[in-house]
Structure 1
């Protein structure tokens, strides 16, 4: 399958995905419990779940714990092959190399729950919403999570960490380019899941939650290099339920420099870049051998198909 340039950011090797899984958050049970409870309140069917943009099926086992069958799809064929190897011991999985937008070819009204993990900002949101609506059963659930950025709670450490993450984002831009699509990706991610609009004729009003944001602007300030003049975009519905300023300690952790480097390794970038190396040394000067408390900033979107 042909991919656009922006999609190749996560066209990576098996060793990268091993580092990715290690450096991503350990998602607390409360997160999936919220999703499953929401789904159960609108549907009695736990037959088919679909993890879209799944990479190597990182979260598919969590879905398989509740759903009889799980479809795993990703736009990168290499990722699908790695997922098959990782999950080959269970027969509840099926696999599809496809973007979310192209899963419009699935049988209509065939899926109970579509789960999108930290990937909606890569999509053409309008086409993605159409594909989700097409495949969901009436009463089915669209659940999207975004937990792409970690913030430290110690102000001085966070100040340097923010500069470091911004420079990594800039490094990625320099490597993969900042065409129109890349701009959309950055602007969508900076808005959390408010960037995902769901038409009223297709979905009941959504529930939108933000967890562990030190300030409303923290996500934007960490991932949108100011020199590009980009702003987040919001497509949240007027009737949606929006809950901000929620803190969930299940997403908290205490990390030293090595733990922070594990997080940074999940963003494909040039680790030998002189500015990045210098910022790590600056952060080490503040943190030393300590572990500093912080948390993943998390957005959750839940919606039911009409």
Structure 2
């Protein structure tokens, strides 16, 4: 929820990427085929459980400037200079821990000895960029949202000079237009893949990477009570708040943006399994999922009001693994911190959370009783999925 960063779905993108902390979440910048800027997107559904052939009809007449204007007007209304918002935004994302990054680094080390250039695609506020800069000689932080780039530059400048981190204002699908083929050792995309045209993005990433280079993309979902009793009793309230907020945004959208929400919802519901990694281009594909008993999608059919069809492109030769870990990316929050999470999850929610929505206020009051009162802390974990692959 996108912390595509690609605009804030949730970013979506990414808090961890935004971080000088470690998490990623962009805001869901959903505009039809989002990060590509295409104007029309059609998806042909197929029976659940079967690989779905996605047919998209693109019209590339929408420019980056036009898309940004639409996103800014309808969704991203927060100035890069609003430091309080961005501090809250970063502090309420999950903190990617050392174990998580080590999954990526171990994969890379197994196939490459080069640690020169890494890309943080949909960088948001720059948290992932900061982490990658501790291991790679240079990091390219890119985002379609110029607000995100401005925030990332401000947050990263005290610690990193231009020789360590540079910035590219571009969609993930267009990075090859800005950087030479075979120039990257690692491409990372946190919370962003569901916002991109995965076919175009994967081709870009393949061309950017050197042979033996690593592709890593991941997504995390809703904050979830670690305690199973609380999860059964109180988690439905968090889910209901999420649905109520997202339904306001989604159901008030136009046809083009609805198509983008559908693509993102199906991608999240699929736990990124819908992303096909062609064995002609990729090897050692690994898909690791944490806490699959929790809910990964920030919004589904209940919020969208239209059918969602998860699909899978996982091949038999790929490594798949599920892990349950109540300590994963642990956050200890009181009710005020949970409210702060919702307030900055997505700028469009600011007016709804705790301000004028009686039903949401009622649900927060009920949640407070499960917390045990004001100031009482409960432990939260996160559902997440990480996909890594090596460029042949």
TM-score by length of 1: 0.91
Identify the match of residue 224 of structure 1 among 286, 292, 300. 300
Determine if the alignment matches structure 1 residue 179 to structure 2 residue 258: yes
1:9 deviation in Å? 4.2
Give the 3-state SS of the residue equivalent to 1:195 in structure 2. coil
1:44 deviation in Å? 0.1
Q: Which runs of 5+ in 1 are unaligned?
A: none
State how far apart, in whole Å, the 2-side matches of 1:267 and 1:77 are. Answer: 16
The structure 1 segments of at least 4 consecutive aligned residues displaced by more than 4 Å after TM superposition are: 4-11, 175-178
Question: Per-residue displacement from partner, 1:164-205 (whole Å, max 9, x unpaired)?
Answer: 122222133145555212211122122222232222221114
Determine if the alignment matches structure 1 residue 257 to structure 2 residue 335: yes
1:6 deviation in Å? 6.2
1:247 deviation in Å? 2.0
State how far apart, in whole Å, the 2-side matches of 1:109 and 1:37 are. Answer: 21
Counterpart of 2:287 in structure 1 is 208
State how far apart, in whole Å, the 1-side matches of 2:201 and 2:143 are. Answer: 13
CA RMSD after TM alignment: 2.1
Determine if the alignment matches structure 1 residue 243 to structure 2 residue 316: no
Counterpart of 1:117 in structure 2 is 190
Q: Is the 8 A contact 2:291 2:322 kept in 1?
A: no
Which structure carries more strand by proportion?
1
State how far apart, in whole Å, the 1-side matches of 2:192 and 2:359 are. Answer: 28
State how far apart, in whole Å, the 2-side matches of 1:163 and 1:278 are. Answer: 11
State how far apart, in whole Å, the 1-side matches of 2:243 and 2:276 are. Answer: 26
Aligned length: 303
Which structure carries more helix by proportion?
1
1:26 deviation in Å? 1.4
- Larger displacement relative to structure 2 (264-273 or 19-28): 264-273
| Cα distance change on mapping 1:253 and 1:179 into 2, 3 Å | closer
State how far apart, in whole Å, the 2-side matches of 1:72 and 1:121 are. Answer: 19
Q: Is the 8 A contact 2:283 2:390 kept in 1?
A: yes
Q: Is the 8 A contact 2:296 2:384 kept in 1?
A: no
Q: Is the 8 A contact 1:115 1:143 kept in 2?
A: yes
Q: Is the 8 A contact 1:9 1:176 kept in 2?
A: no
1:257 deviation in Å? 1.0
TM-score by length of 2: 0.72
State how far apart, in whole Å, the 1-side matches of 2:71 and 2:385 are. Answer: 22
Give the 3-state SS of the residue equivalent to 2:111 in structure 1. coil
- Larger displacement relative to structure 2 (50-59 or 62-71): 50-59
